[in-house]
Every structure is written in C-alpha cells, then in structure tokens.
C-alpha cells in the first residue's frame, strides 16, 4: 500500500442541487410488540441485555454505525420480571424512554425509578445498569449518538467498569489531586503561561494558552428524570391555547447543562407534544432529523409530498434532515415523544430552520429565530 498522500481533484466541482434524503420509515406497534415478545422468549444472555437495534434499510450506505437515521441509534431493550443487566459505561450519551412496564436504573450510584412514558438521560461514561423489579415485562427505547461516534471511530464502550465504590474513591482522589496541583501551580511560574487568555485584536479574536486548552471549565452532567405523570399535567395546559395558536404544543425536556443549545443531552433534545384533535401543522423543515414515538391517538405526516399514517404505539423516522414535512392529528388528542439532534447542530452552527416555507430559513442559534403568537393570545384573553 502506497504511503503517498491521496488527492481528489475537485476543480470546478459543483455540489448536487438536492440532498439524497433517507425516506421516512414506520415501525408499527404490531412489529414492536412482536419483537418485544421475541426478545422475552430468548434465554437470558450473560450480560442480561435483551435488545434489538431499530435500523433504517439504508443505514449501511453512508458507512455509519447502525441507526434509524445517520446520527441516531434507537435500541429496543427488554427485561423480564426479576432480571437485571450487568454494569457498563460508554462515551455516547442516551435518552431513555419507557414504553411498557416499569423498573429502575442505577446511574453513577443514583437510582431512577421509572414508569410507562417516563424519560431520563444518561451522561457520558456514567456507569449504569437496569433492573426490572416488577411483576410484568418491561420494554424501553434508548436513543444514542453512537452512530456518529462510530463514524469517527471513537465510540468507547466499557463492558467491565470498576465497582461503584471504587469509582467513587477514584473521583474523590482525583478531586483532591487536582486541588493540590492547582495550589502548586499557583506558586510555580513554570507550570502555566504568564500571559493567560487574552484578546488579540479589536475584531474579537483571542489567544488561549495550552494550560487552559487541556483543562476547560467543567460542567457537571447529571442523570435527570422527567416522570410522565408530572409532564402530562403541564402539557395538557397547552391545549387551552386554542385553534388560533401558531406553534406546536410541546415542552422540551430540558437539561440545564446544555445551556443555550436547548438539549436533553448535549447531542439530542427530547420533546413531549400534545396535538389536540384535528390540528394540522404548517409545512416546515430543519437540518435536524426527527424521530417520533406516538403513544396516544392517531394521525398522519406528510413528508416531501408523501403521506404516512400512524397510530399509538408506532415509531417513525418522521423527518429526515431538511425534508419538508408537517403533521396532523385525527379525531382524538395525540401524545408523542420526539427526539432530534438539534443541540449538536446548534453548536456546529449548522441548524438551518425554515418555520414557514414562504419566508427565508434561519441559522438557529446564530441568527434570530422565530416567534409564535402565544403572547398575543395571552394578552387578548386578559
């Protein structure tokens, strides 16, 4: 094999005018139920993890890890009554969503007891395991950024993490050592740049020394829990906005550590939406792709001009990135969980969003975003 560098000559090259979008795909409730029962009938594996990846037929075309879209892996996980998984950790982050039964998870020593339609997140390299301490079968969907890390060839999975007490001891020792090093560095002029971080010019360009580069400010990443019974109480209040409201009736399950990037994890947002009967969204599009799980009601989605009908219990890749789409509910209220890779795209300054196809798109997070008429309706009602 030659060690010479390789070049691709693109002189005068023009990019394709249209993206090759992945087609929407629906995994029906019946298919989900059948796979849950199939997993439950298998002999218990050594690590206790009964799971299936839910993938798009085109996942291999881009050379990415198995996923329901190029950057998101959805896994169906099942636990029989009394079963427990072994501990593990990885540098991918997760959103967990209970679709059947109940149980609890231990994440970095924190116990999260969950019930049907509860959501909780996993931070990177958090040691965790799952327990079904109920009398019924449990099923859960996990949404992970593993395909992206696998594409980068840096998805680190530890199947045998140290025991929790050992990890707690390591963390305590590390904190003490870091404090001692910081105190020593304060008195050692050779341990850091004498100039620090400073502004280089009036344009706003700065310079940062190596010491700060390898020791960025840390933000604690916690496992958080959004119980459905509490979320639903707040969500149902949005139906009072009435048919004149121009917007979607939803709440982001917000993790404050994601700051202005509006995430449940640094990679994903998870939103809970209620769609009152016979509500039709305006067509719109965005670079972030959307995966919906509908757990009450029925309706349709129109994506790139093609209509897809769905019902409670269906999982759907409902909007490939930059595909024009809108959704409509039928005769009863719809509840759904939507997962998008919006926070990652905001941070990368790649989140193009076109809320109204008659008006230009915006780079959300860099340009001004969009407004609804919620305040106008509120003032009219006073």
Q: Which of 44, 72, 9 is nearest to 292 (CA)?
A: 72
User: What residues does each domain of the chain span?
Assistant: 25-158, 228-381
pLDDT at res. 365: 86
pLDDT at res. 195: 79
**Domain 25-158 identical in fold to domain 228-381:** yes
Q: Which of 53, 54, 128, 135 is nearest to 101 (CA)?
A: 135
The 3-state DSSP class for residue 30 equals helix
pLDDT at res. 313: 98
Q: At 229, which helix (H) or strand (E)?
A: helix 228-236
CATH annotation of 228-381: 2.60.120.10
pLDDT < 70 stretches in the chain: 1-2, 164-193, 370, 372-382
pLDDT at res. 166: 61
pLDDT at res. 63: 76
Structure tokens at 317: 């890749």
Q: Which of 176, 147, 168, 161 is nearest to 56 (CA)?
A: 147
Task: Give CATH superfamily name and number for 25-158.
Answer: Jelly Rolls (2.60.120.10)
Q: What is the pLDDT of residues 312-339, one digit of tens each?
A: 999 999 999 999 999 999 999 999 999 9
DSSP 84: B
The 3-state DSSP class for residue 150 equals helix
């Amino acid at each position: 094999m030659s060690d010479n560098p390789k070049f691709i000559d693109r002189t005068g090259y023009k990019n394709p005018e249209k993206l090759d979008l992945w087609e929407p795909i629906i995994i029906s409730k019946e298919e989900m139920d059948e796979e849950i029962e199939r997993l439950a009938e298998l002999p218990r594996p050594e690590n206790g993890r009964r799971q299936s990846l839910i993938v798009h037929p085109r996942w291999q075309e881009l050379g990415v890890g198995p996923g329901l879209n190029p950057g998101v892996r959805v896994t169906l996980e099942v636990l029989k009554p009394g079963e427990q998984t072994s501990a593990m950790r990885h540098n991918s982050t997760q959103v967990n969503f209970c679709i059947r039964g109940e149980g609890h998870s231990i994440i970095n020593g924190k116990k999260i007891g969950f019930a049907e339609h509860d959501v909780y997140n996993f931070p990177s390299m958090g040691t965790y395991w799952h327990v079904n301490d109920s009398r019924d079968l449990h099923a859960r969907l996990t949404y992970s950024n593993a395909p992206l890390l696998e594409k980068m060839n840096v998805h680190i999975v530890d199947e045998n993490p140290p025991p929790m007490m050992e990890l707690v001891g390591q963390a305590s020792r590390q904190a003490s050592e870091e404090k001692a090093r910081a105190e020593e560095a304060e008195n050692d002029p050779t341990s850091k740049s004498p100039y620090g971080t400073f502004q280089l010019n009036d344009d706003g360009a700065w310079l940062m020394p190596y010491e700060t580069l390898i020791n960025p400010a840390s933000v604690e990443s916690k496992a958080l829990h959004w119980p459905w019974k509490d979320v639903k109480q707040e969500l149902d209040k949005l139906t009072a906005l009435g048919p004149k409201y121009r917007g979607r009736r939803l709440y982001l399950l917000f993790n404050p550590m994601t700051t202005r990037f509006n995430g449940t994890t640094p990679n994903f947002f998870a939103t809970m939406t209620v769609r009152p009967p016979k509500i039709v969204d305006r067509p719109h599009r965005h670079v972030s792709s959307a995966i919906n799980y509908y757990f009450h009601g029925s309706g349709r989605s129109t994506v790139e001009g093609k209509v897809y009908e769905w019902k409670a219990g269906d999982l759907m890749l409902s909007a490939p990135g930059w595909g024009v789409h809108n959704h409509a509910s039928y005769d009863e209220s719809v509840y759904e969980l939507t997962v998008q890779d919006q926070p990652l795209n905001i941070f990368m300054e790649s989140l193009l969003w076109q809320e109204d196809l008659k008006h230009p798109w915006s780079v959300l997070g860099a340009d001004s975003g969009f407004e609804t008429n919620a305040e106008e309706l509120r003032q009219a009602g006073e």
